[in-house]
């Protein structure tokens, strides 16, 4: 089993000491010392490369980090996850999303039961449904085929499918439109339905519990919209559900055969591989969805079997820990150089911040080191013209992941060359920076007067030495997206094990939900002056 407090281990102390020894070393120096640094500090899994060479990490750093991983028993925890043990201790559940993409034939058991027959049964149900809808055999109440799909869900029942359908846009059914409605703000539903034709619209209500306030409110409003335009009897032809609570979905008016099930061993933010991925499967077709699962499965197999020093999720987790706890990074930017990955940072925000944004260890004691950082991001090159300024010259230390697909499907190859040049240039700029002397020399070479150049030199200098990883995919297709997302999942898990926290619960989101109920019922408003004052203004402004 893992140690309770990782910061009290000899390996942690050795890393602290090692960090001091590197105090005067810059990342760029490491490239001068080792002409083969890229080969030594990058890992590959087919057409998937993870380059961590632009980090302040030496062979000794990696040796010490791997020692730490052994002490924390990362491999043991990984094996317990793959064995279906109840590693989600506070909810007493297995963490078994890896079974959902087990495209091999081996059984996978939870509590002594092979879950694969049930998983395959839902795959068959999904496959039949997806084919019917895509080929126009599923008819709405007036006999129309389905052209618009509206997924209603929130959090884990929204972010994965919304991210993946956008990421895989070139692979989606060309004559169908997909909307994802999550926010309880009616504006979100309104925007989705503004141009929708009820006769050809299908709603997928996605909720593991079928009790989530936002989802039920949106689903009820959508049902009202549909029945007002068609008829109350139209509901079964226009609503299906994805839920672990079949009875509750049936009570809503959804035929039990149109409820796609999943299980309590699937955590919300790890659920896009389950029936929660139904909109992805409708968009891509069943084979495309299977490719997504196969890509994730390939990463699972790699995580499970690759030796520690060649293991991509383990290495990525260790490098993140090094940046967060030893190099004191303040934040973490995920920067996809792919417009279609625009929702990836939001997806990863939930994955990483809900999983590892915690201060209590598994043993109930407080953690003694920094845990999950603030994660943010936007596609490059847009981010370059917005927040990269702070990453280059701000006082906050941000470590970055740059992501690019080598082959492009946009049909604009010249633009892909520009995109690629920017992807490569940004991590280079972060590493090298520019000294005031270099800035001065540049300005003087451009014939600027010495006084003006001197005044501007510090403004135009960059610290450099900012760490980053680069991830290069062969192509942004279902298979590679599966690998990419599974990589981030396992890296998040590795970090949780190292910090000694449970990455699979989310008690921190409960309090706000409770207070919203109190406020809705009126009892919570007078609890503090600010709330009471705001509510009084709100009421006054209704008139």
**Contacts to ligand G6Q by CB under 6 A:** 154-157, 207-209, 212, 215, 267-269, 354, 506
Supply the minimum distance, in Å, between the C-beta of residue 193 and ligand G6Q: 20
473: phi > 0 → left, psi -120 to 50 → alpha, else beta; which?
beta
Name the strands in the sheet holding 468-475, side by side, starting at the edge strand that comes first in the sequence. Answer: 42-44, 48-51, 468-475, 398-407, 331-337, 374-376
Supply the minimum distance, in Å, between the C-beta of residue 168 and ligand G6Q: 21
Supply the minimum distance, in Å, between the C-beta of residue 519 and ligand G6Q: 19
Copy the structure tokens of residue 358.
């915690």
User: How far from the centroid of its chain's Cα atoms is residue 339's Cα?
Assistant: 16
List of residues 6+ apart from 265 with CB closer than 8 A:
84, 93, 94, 95, 96, 99, 110, 115
Residue 155 or 379: the one with the smaller Cβ distance to ligand G6Q is 155
Residue 71 or 209: the one with the smaller Cβ distance to ligand G6Q is 209
| Helices 286-305 and 116-134, packing angle to 10 deg | 150
Supply the minimum distance, in Å, between the C-beta of residue 262 and ligand G6Q: 10
Q: What is the DSSP letter of 369?
A: S
463, 467, 473, 477 alpha-carbon torsion, rounded to 10°: -90
CA distance 366 to 380: 37
Residue 268 or 383: the one with the smaller Cβ distance to ligand G6Q is 268
Residue 84 or 268: the one with the smaller Cβ distance to ligand G6Q is 268
CA distance 141 to 227: 11
Supply the minimum distance, in Å, between the C-beta of residue 159 and ligand G6Q: 8
**Residue 135 annotated among the catalytic residues of the structure:** no
Supply the minimum distance, in Å, between the C-beta of residue 306 and ligand G6Q: 27
Supply the minimum distance, in Å, between the C-beta of residue 346 and ligand G6Q: 12
Residue 7 or 209: the one with the smaller Cβ distance to ligand G6Q is 209
| H helices present in 269-378, as ranges | 278-284, 286-305, 312-321, 344-348, 355-356
Residue 65 or 486: the one with the smaller Cβ distance to ligand G6Q is 486
Provide the strand spans (E) within 307-373.
331-337
Q: 257, 265, 226, 214: which is closest to 108 by C-alpha?
A: 265
Supply the minimum distance, in Å, between the C-beta of residue 216 and ligand G6Q: 9
**Residue 257 annotated among the catalytic residues of the structure:** no
Residue 90 or 458: the one with the smaller Cβ distance to ligand G6Q is 90
Name the strands in the sheet holding 259-260, side by side, starting at the edge strand that comes first in the sequence. Answer: 177-181, 148-152, 201-206, 239-242, 259-260
Copy the structure tokens of residue 18.
């090692």
Copy the structure tokens of residue 204.
């997928």
Residue 144 or 264: the one with the smaller Cβ distance to ligand G6Q is 264
CA distance 101 to 116: 10
Q: Are 20 and 56 in contact (CB under 8 A)?
A: no
* DSSP β-ladder status, 259-260 and 239-242: parallel
Q: What is the DSSP letter of 474?
A: E
Residue 140 or 267: the one with the smaller Cβ distance to ligand G6Q is 267
Of the residues 11, 354, 378, 489, only one is catalytic, namely 354
H or E element in which residue 178 lies: strand 177-181
Angle at 501 between CA 513 and CA 90, to 5 degrees: 55
Supply the minimum distance, in Å, between the C-beta of residue 264 and ligand G6Q: 11
Q: Which residue is nearest to ligand G6Q (CB)?
A: 155
CA distance 518 to 213: 13
CA distance 492 to 375: 12
CA distance 217 to 519: 17
Q: Are 374 and 353 in contact (CB under 8 A)?
A: yes
Of the residues 16, 40, 121, 385, only one is catalytic, namely 385
**Residue 354 annotated among the catalytic residues of the structure:** yes
Residue linked to tokens 């989101």: 509
Residues with catalytic roles: 354, 385, 513
């Amino acid at each position: 089993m893992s140690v309770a407090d990782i910061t009290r281990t000899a390996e942690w102390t050795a890393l602290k000491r090692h960090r001091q020894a590197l105090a005067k070393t810059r990342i760029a120096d490491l490239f001068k010392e080792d002409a083969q640094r890229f080969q030594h500090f990058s890992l590959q899994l087919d057409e998937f490369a993870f380059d961590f060479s632009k980090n302040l990490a030496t062979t000794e750093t990696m040796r010490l980090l791997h020692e730490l991983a052994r002490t924390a028993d990362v491999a043991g925890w990984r094996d317990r996850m793959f064995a279906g043990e109840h590693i989600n201790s506070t909810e007493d559940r297995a963490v078994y999303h890896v079974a959902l993409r087990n495209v091999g034939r081996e059984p996978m058991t939870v509590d002594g039961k092979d879950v694969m027959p049930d998983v395959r049964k839902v795959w068959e149900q999904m496959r039949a449904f997806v084919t019917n809808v895509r080929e126009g055999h599923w008819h709405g109440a007036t006999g129309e085929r389905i052209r618009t799909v509206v997924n209603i869900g929130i959090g884990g029942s929204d972010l994965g499918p919304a991210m993946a359908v956008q990421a895989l846009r070139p692979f989606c059914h060309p004559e169908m439109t997909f909307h994802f409605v999550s926010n309880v703000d009616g504006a979100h539903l309104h925007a989705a339905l503004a141009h929708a034709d009820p006769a050809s619209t299908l709603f997928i209500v996605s909720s593991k519990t079928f009790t989530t306030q936002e989802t039920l409110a949106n689903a009820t409003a959508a049902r009202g919209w549909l029945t007002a335009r068609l008829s109350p009897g139209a509901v079964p032809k226009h609503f299906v559900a994805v839920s672990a609570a079949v009875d509750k979905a049936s009570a809503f008016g959804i035929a039990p055969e149109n409820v796609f099930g999943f299980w309590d061993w699937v955590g919300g933010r790890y659920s896009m591989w389950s029936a929660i991925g139904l909109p992805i499967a409708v968009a891509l077709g069943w084979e495309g969805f299977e490719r997504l699962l196969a890509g994730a499965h390939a990463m699972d197999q790699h995580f499970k079997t690759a030796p520690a020093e060649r293991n991509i999720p383990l290495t990525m987790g260790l490098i993140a820990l090094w940046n967060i706890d030893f190099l004191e990074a303040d934040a973490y930017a995920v920067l996809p150089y792919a417009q279609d990955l625009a929702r990836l940072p939001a997806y990863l925000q939930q994955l990483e911040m809900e999983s590892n944004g915690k201060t209590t260890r598994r043993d109930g004691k407080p953690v003694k080191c920094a845990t999950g950082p603030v994660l943010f991001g936007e596609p490059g090159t847009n981010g370059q013209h917005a927040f990269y300024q702070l990453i280059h010259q701000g006082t906050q230390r941000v470590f970055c992941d740059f992501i690019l697909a080598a082959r492009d499907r946009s049909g604009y190859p010249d633009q892909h060359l520009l995109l690629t040049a920017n992807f490569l240039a940004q991590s280079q700029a972060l590493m090298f920076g520019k000294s005031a002397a270099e800035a001065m020399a540049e300005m003087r070479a451009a014939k600027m007067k010495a006084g003006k150049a001197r005044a501007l030199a510090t403004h135009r200098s960059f610290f450099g030495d900012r760490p980053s990883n680069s991830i290069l995919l062969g192509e942004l297709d279902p298979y590679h997206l599966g690998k990419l997302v599974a990589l981030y999942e396992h890296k998040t898990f590795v970090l949780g094990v190292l910090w000694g926290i449970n990455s699979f619960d989310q008690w921190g989101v409960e309090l706000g939900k409770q207070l919203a109920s109190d406020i809705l019922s009126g009892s919570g408003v007078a609890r503090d002056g600010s709330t009471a004052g705001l509510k009084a203004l709100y009421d006054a402004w209704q008139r």
